[in-house]
Amino acid sequence: MSLLPNVERELMRVAYAPADGSSAGVRVGSRAVWRGRFSGAVLAAAVSVVALLIGAGFLIALRGAGTGGGSPAMHPSNPSPPVGRGAFPGAPRPSHGHFTKHGVYVCPRAPRNRYLPRVAGCVSVLRADMTGAGAQDLVLLYADLGGRHFRQGYEPVAYTLELVRPGGAIARTRLPTEGNQPLFVRAGNVNGRPGDELVLLLAYVSSGDVYGIATLHDGRLWLADAQLAAGGDSGAKEGFACRVRPRPEVISRTMILLGPTIHGRWRWTVETYAWHGSMLRRIAGRTFVRRGLPPRRLLTAGAGCGRPVGAPESKS
């Protein structure tokens, strides 16, 4: 702003200059002022310079007031999304459904999102290396909402498991689930091939919740066909676990009370499944009777089947 006094002095010279068009010097008071031939042009230029300087000063002051210094700041509520391998800017947020007073499970409609169909709800979100490529994939579980509409949301007609690769490739599969929302339970490599498998809670049942294990095979998502359950009630209990060595297997246990009390006799059925591509095939089974209440550690959903990812393991 140090140029403003000089500009003001120039404006004063032009203002006091005669308008007869001569180029001679004149005296104003006791001071000689030079009036050039092109005083009109000088006046216009001076006015423009003053306007530019004032505008620049206003912008500098405004920027300093907004950032507390001389450098611009990014708006904190709208940062640039991270972009890179395994990053999925704009991924949907999780949402959950609930039962109405009439006992119907409904899902609020999820906001529009690039990764979801037009009408979706009850969204679960997970990042896991399903392909074994060393990058985190985006895995989604969501309801397709095409059923009855209630005040609190829509009745789901189907559920979809969806995998999105960092490069944009997508794989989907429908889940054999009706009613309440399926959930992610565990994620980890349990079939001996590159990539994570997912333990999914498919249905809530008082005598043992139903689970499934999903895997990526030949570029497609598959749900292994073994019927797995965990939890139970006072007369029937179930659980399953994964074992990687000496070979990848899944062990399922079912315990039925024979009595006369819960501390009496139980009939155990233990079945062993081995991985064949995307499927689990039963390779062994045995039944026996044992006294005493089955231990809680055997009633878990997928012990050894990867890391827990937030869903409750079972209800006992």
pLDDT of residue 120: 92
> Regarding predicted confidence, which is higher, 146 or 272?
272
> Regarding predicted confidence, which is higher, 19 or 222?
222
- Confidence category of residue 306, pLDDT binned at 50, 70, 90: very high
Give the separation between CA 59 and CA 195, rounded to whole angstroms.
55
> What does the pLDDT look like over 54-66, one tens digit per residue?
444 433 333 333 3
> What does the pLDDT look like over 277-300, one tens digit per residue?
889 999 999 999 999 999 999 999
Q: Contact 15/37 with Cβ under 8 angstroms?
A: no
- Confidence category of residue 179, pLDDT binned at 50, 70, 90: confident
Tokens for 166, please give them: 């960092």
> What does the pLDDT look like over 195-234, one tens digit per residue?
999 999 998 877 779 999 999 998 899 998 778 999 988 8
What's the one-letter identity of residue 309? Answer: V
Among the listed ranges 36-50, 86-100, 145-159, which one has the minimum average pLDDT value? 36-50
pLDDT of residue 5: 45
Give the separation between CA 185 and CA 211, rounded to whole angstroms.
9
pLDDT of residue 282: 94
Does the pLDDT of residue 258 top 70, yes or no?
A: yes
pLDDT of residue 307: 93
Question: Domain locations in the chain?
Answer: 4-67, 83-181, 183-316
> Regarding predicted confidence, which is higher, 179 or 41?
179
Give the separation between CA 221 and CA 84, rounded to whole angstroms.
24
Among the listed ranges 43-47, 153-157, 226-230, which one has the minimum average pLDDT value? 43-47
Does the pLDDT of residue 249 top 90, yes or no?
A: yes
> What does the pLDDT look like over 62-101, one tens digit per residue?
333 333 322 222 222 222 233 334 478 889 999 999 888 8
Q: Tell me the average pLDDT of the chain.
A: 75
Phi, psi (rounded to 5 degrees) for 307: -80, 145
Q: Beta strands 153-164 and 209-217: pairing type?
A: unpaired
Give the separation between CA 230 and CA 53, rounded to whole angstroms.
76
pLDDT of residue 196: 94
pLDDT of residue 18: 43
pLDDT of residue 42: 40
Mean pLDDT of 167-191: 88
Give the separation between CA 206 and CA 201, rounded to whole angstroms.
14
pLDDT of residue 48: 53
> Regarding predicted confidence, which is higher, 259 or 311?
259
Reported as type and span, the H/E element at residue 85 is none
pLDDT of residue 77: 25
